[in-house]
Amino acid sequence: MARTLVAGNAVVPTAMGELRAVVRGPPSDGVLPGLVFVDGSGCGGIEDWGDWPEWISGCGAAVLVHDKPGCGNSPGNWRDQSLADRAVEALAAVEVLSAVPGVDPQRIGLIGWSQGGWVSLLAARRASEAVDRVVTIGGPGVSMAEQERVRIDNWLRRDGLDDLDRAQAMAWVDQRTARLRSGEEIGAVLADQLHLADRPWYPTVAQVYDDPRQVAFFVRNMDVDPADLLPALRCPVLALFGGADDYVPVALSVARIASSLPARHSSHGIAVFPGADHSLFTGDPDPAVARRDQLAPGFLPMLAAFLAD
């Protein structure tokens, strides 16, 4: 049998227009499982993935990556989405990948980084028959509001702020979240925040939260909670974390996910890689070291085994 190489350009149809996409896969004598990449926060185009499609497809899967709305060469604006909108988008990408020759339409999964973890779980719950498995990398096991509180506190500690400054900063973070959750007008909350601009902690606390459109995104999504999504899933989940991740409450996420995963699958997995960061790298980029070699040892073999199961 001739070996088939799965590769080509594609588009993902969405409510915001057609998103530019590419499909990549290793040569195969048969049909391959598929994985749709689900990006994290912020803007993300195809080119921003770098070598990740090659690394993941090397684990034995055809992969599809696409622009987020308004990124790369694609229309729309991701800031106007909810996580539920992003889940619908991910499912549209699953449908595109399932129609690619050489890909097994019954074995299409999602691999979500960071915020993409919430999106992947939402999509798998929404269309259990379409999603064969879910992989999350640095995907929080808590809500966005909880995760962001931990991230900001971690970054304040990293910046060397003392206990009093951190306490003042987190008091404002809690007040801001409560006011936004109550439905208070975003402009009024941000106007009050500007009065704190002389505080040493302001740049860290206001980063991202000084843009009304991004704050609106946070408001729409702050209370999506994996504990509400995981029990209903019908597919296996592999949740992966870096032990040195300062974006996510790793220990709490592991505990929440472990207690929420349904017992119907024996193929679930949770792993924490010591010393690895939010994206499972063990060091900063070094021109003398291949970036793939800085991935957490064991990560890619573990993913390959999960895909082959």
The phi, psi pair for 5, rounded to 5°, reads -105, 120
pLDDT at 20: 96
pLDDT at 196: 98
pLDDT at 3: 45
Q: What CATH number is given for 7-143+224-308 in this structure?
A: 3.40.50.1820
Distances (CA, A) of 13 to 17, 69, 95, 124, 158: 6, 11, 10, 19, 42
Sheet holding 237-242, edge to edge: 7-14, 17-24, 62-66, 32-38, 103-113, 134-137, 237-242, 269-273
Q: Is residue 50 exposed (0-12), middle (13-18) or buried (19+ Cβ within 10 Å)?
A: exposed
Can you read off the two tokens belonging to residue 298? 């064991």
Distances (CA, A) of 78 to 27, 82, 213: 34, 8, 10
| Beta-carbon count within 10 A of 186 CB | 18
248 close to 150: Cβ distance less than 8 angstroms: yes
pLDDT at 6: 59
pLDDT at 250: 98
Which residue stretches of the chain have pLDDT < 70? 1-7, 264-265
Identify the CA nearest to 70 among candidates 14, 5, 134. 14
pLDDT at 259: 94
